[in-house]
Amino acid sequence: MEKKLDASFFEADRVLFVGYSRKHAVFCKAIREAFESRGTAIIAVNPNPGTYDTTVYASIDSTPGTFELAYVLTNKAHSTALVEQLAAKGVKRVLFNSKMSVDAAILEHCSKLGMQTAVACPMMALGGGFHRFHGWLSGVPRATVRLSSTSLPNR
């Protein structure tokens, strides 16, 4: 049996979203908005230029500041190279979207770098309805809302 996540895993002022995609624009936007509705800023990364619904940086290195949490929506081939870059950005927790994004070797490498990892769609913790039910079945806790009047996203 896999270890259940603690709700604090999802808590961060800023999340580095690696693999923010035009191809999966609706999914990416839903995740971004779910984090933002809880007062978390999303900093998106995708090396492919184009039109996105938010500011997207071309590389992890070009993003401003450091991050405690990163959400990775890439395939394993890309994730392997990202781990060192995430560690250099100060990432302490990495949420990989699915087993398509990570394997045991990548998880072990993250552990050696001092990063806590999880494999789950963030909508299981941040979403409602079917997403939340799936999260409950998978042992993913409901993320708490931690908004203040100064952290409300602009709409």
The rounded distance, in Å, linking the Cα atoms of 68 and 64 is: 13
Laid out side by side, the sheet with 69-72 consists of 56-57, 41-45, 14-18, 69-72, 93-96, 116-119
pLDDT computed for residue 69 by the predictor:
95
pLDDT < 70: residue spans in the chain: 1-6, 123-155
Classify residue 66: in a domain, yes or no.
Answer: yes
Number of domains composing the chain: 1
pLDDT computed for residue 118 by the predictor:
87
pLDDT computed for residue 8 by the predictor:
78
Classify residue 153: in a domain, yes or no.
Answer: no
Coil vs helix vs strand at 118: strand
| Cα four-point dihedral sign 116, 4, 10, 146 | negative
The rounded distance, in Å, linking the Cα atoms of 39 and 11 is: 10
First to last CA, the chain: 41
User: Can you give the CATH number for the domain in which 61 is found?
Assistant: 3.40.50.720
Classify residue 100: in a domain, yes or no.
Answer: yes
Classify residue 152: in a domain, yes or no.
Answer: no
Which domain does 95 fall in, by range? 7-138
